[in-house]
Amino acid sequence: MRIGFVRTANIVKVGLRSILRNTMRSALTMLGIVIGVTCVIVVNGIGNGATKSIQSNISSLGANYIMIFPGQVTQGGARIAAGVSSLTEDDARAIKTECPSVAYASAGARTAGQVVAGEMNWGTEIFGADVDWPFIRSWNVSRGTFFSEAEVKASAKVAVLGATVQRNLFPDSDPIGAVIRIKNVPFRVLGVLERKGGSTMGNDQDDQIVVPYTTVMKRISGSNRLNIVQVAAKGPDAIQPAIQEITALLRQRHRLGPGQDDDFTIRSQEEFAATAAATTQTMRYLLVGIAIVSLVVGGIGIMNIMLVSVTERTREIGIRMAIGAKAHHVLAQFLLEAITLSIVGGGIGILLGLGGSRAVAKFAGWPVSVDPSSILIAFATAAIIGIFFGFWPAWKAAKLDPIEALRYE
């Protein structure tokens, strides 16, 4: 057993000496592995970070969130945009009362305009909503209060500010109770919404003012139609039943026949999540493919260098075999050298990958999350590449004829 240990130690010693003897060549040999492993870790970190960011943004829309938009209509066999919105206040009320899977529903009417507060002014979106809106969007008021059902019915001139609007209109003062002018119509500020951040489309969700939808329709836009109806299902399992119930109800209310297309469009949180996940996954596959190519190129580099090494050390191999080394000893030595190059390259790649991920997060501002499993996978892949691409040169060295090897010049 001691003889076997000494022999193994000698194999390791000779292999490491050979690697260190040609430091520059060994470093260049590892370069492909280093780049490949670095790419795997950075790509995984960017992909995980993007996925978590998308999930967070989708969650910020609200729990079990469903949106209903005015759709397109068919005329003369062609799909055209509807000139007038197909959604009404009665539609929103019917969805809330007649769809068993719906927990909350809010009529929505949006417009944009310049808002003035004292000497400050800010262009933003004016969003009209109902009293269920904070529950649908899971969006609380950080200061003050939200408007009441009585204020909605009365088309009251009251407003709740988004955090961005509050920061630009009232940078140094409390806006609660203050008067702002929206398209020259005075509004009293009731509250300020909690900060939400960016949406899945990259828009600033905090850059808006929420007022009763009736106020938008009667005092600002002059329209009696809705731009959107926002809905929250009773639970994740109720999203699809809610969509089916809403579809059937609206088709009935809009008197659409069996052969007619919907004049509305329904989008759910699940669709956003599926689309975002598919896009992220496609990009991740592309980048991982590039990383795999780098690893394979690195493996081919290792094989080429090991073949060169076998040719250069043919006489040495012959001498070792002549004094008692077996074929499997030679095989183990060259295989060890290849695996060592791969593992060292993998280790350097892991360090560079972690550093690169932090650099991307710091300088590019992208969300990055490195999964520990990706580090293990990258390291294991580097070792496997060393075994796979190092075996042929090692096997070739082990098959050398000792007499022919001794004659080699």
Give the model confidence (pLDDT) of 349-398 as tens digits: 889 989 988 888 888 777 788 878 778 877 787 778 877 877 777 777 77
Question: Tens of pLDDT along 280-293?
Answer: 777 767 777 777 77
Q: Comparing 351 with 33, which gets the higher pLDDT? A: 351
Q: Please give the pLDDT value at position 190.
A: 96
pLDDT at 2: 47
pLDDT higher than 90, residue 29: no
- Exposure string of 365-402, with b = 16+ CB inside 10 Å and e = fewer, is eebbbbeeebbeebbebbeebbeebbbebbebbbebeb
Structure tokens at 291: 């990383």
136-160: per-residue pLDDT in tens?
A: 988 999 999 999 999 999 999 999 9
Whether residue 19 has pLDDT greater than 70:
no
170 confidence band (pLDDT: 50, 70, 90): very high
275, pLDDT greater than 80:
no
Confidence of residue 74 (pLDDT cuts 50, 70, 90): very low
Could you report how far apart the first and last alpha carbons of the chain are, in Å?
37
The pTM (predicted TM-score) of the whole model is 0.61
* Residue 286, number of CB atoms within 10 A of its CB: 11
Residue, of 79 and 25, whose pLDDT is higher: 25
Instruction: Concatenate the DSSP letters of all residues of 20-87 into one string.
Output: HHTHHHHHHHHHHHHHHHHHHHHHHHHHHHHHHHHHHHHHHH-TTEEEEEE-EEEETTEEEE-SS---
What are the domain boundaries of the chain?
Answer: 2-57+275-407, 72-262
Q: What is the Cα gyration radius of the chain?
A: 34
pLDDT over 70 percentage in the chain: 82
Q: Output 407 or 297, whichever has higher pLDDT.
A: 297
CA pair distance 342, 38, nearest whole angstrom: 13
